[in-house]
Amino acid sequence: MKNIFTLFLSIILLYACSPKEEIPDTLPMKVAKAYGFDNFDQVNSIAYTWNVQRDSVTVFSRYWKWNIKDSTVDYSGPDTTFTYSLTADSLPKQDGAFINDKYWAMMPFQLAWDTGYTYEVEENVSSPIGGQNSTKLTILYQSGEPKASGMGYTPGDAYDLFLDENNMIIEWVFRRGNGPEGRPTTWEQVETHGPLKFVTTHKNAEGNRTLWISDIKVD
């Protein structure tokens, strides 16, 4: 896992130091840029709370602050509060939750940071929940050990992203192990914090809010 974060942080520094015209003009990068990726060099830290709701009851919340420049993470949950280094030889068990929650909060940026995936594009596809005409961008992570360089955080898994005309995500489907079925959720309520945009609300096909991001702060 340490190798993943070393590569991941190197990619951030590479893009921060590169001229903006050198950013690849692929659809995944266009999605990242739609959320402000080309301004990421202005960001020192990102804080947010990840919340889960079932049957209109909040059942879980986790607070994170990712200190990008010094490669540390502040965590606060129902069990404990502490800070850890992403470059440490041994990472705490909560690091798995950090990875999961960061994909919900920052998936557009992961498209720029991650290297171990292929993608396919299909035009004029109806989104699974709202039936909106969209561009379907399928992200498929390579199979292999999670610690392998360039493998991303979810080896072998697939994400179907349904994009509007501005390359913003309106819905997505996560498919574990690139299986044929997945659970679609919406991407709603875009908020701007500093130079970045975040989607804060996710609903299931029944229209119930299942997950949301709150207390966002970008420095």
**What's the predicted TM-score (pTM) here?**
0.86
Q: Write down the pLDDT at residue 155.
A: 79
* Cβ neighbours around 177 below 10 Å, total: 10
Q: Write down the pLDDT at residue 12.
A: 55
The β-bridge partners of 192 are 197
DSSP state letter for 44: S
Q: Write down the pLDDT at residue 59.
A: 84
Q: Which two tokens stand for residue 49?
A: 């709370």
Chain centroid to CA 66: 13
Name residues whose C-beta falls within 8 Å of residue 149's C-beta, 6 or more positions apart in sequence.
3, 4, 7
User: C-alpha angle with apex 15: 10 to 18, nearest 5 degrees?
Assistant: 120
Q: Write down the pLDDT at residue 52.
A: 94
Q: Write down the pLDDT at residue 169.
A: 98
Name residues whose C-beta falls within 8 Å of residue 57's C-beta, 6 or more positions apart in sequence.
none
pLDDT string in tens for the chain (219-residue length): 333 443 445 445 444 444 455 668 999 999 999 999 999 999 999 999 999 988 778 789 999 999 999 999 999 998 899 999 999 999 999 999 999 999 999 999 999 999 889 999 999 999 999 999 999 999 999 876 555 444 455 679 999 999 999 999 999 999 999 999 999 999 999 999 999 999 999 999 999 989 999 999 999
Q: Write down the pLDDT at residue 56.
A: 75
Q: What's the rounded Cα separation, in Å, for the pair 40 and 209?
A: 29
The β-bridge partners of 163 are 135, 169
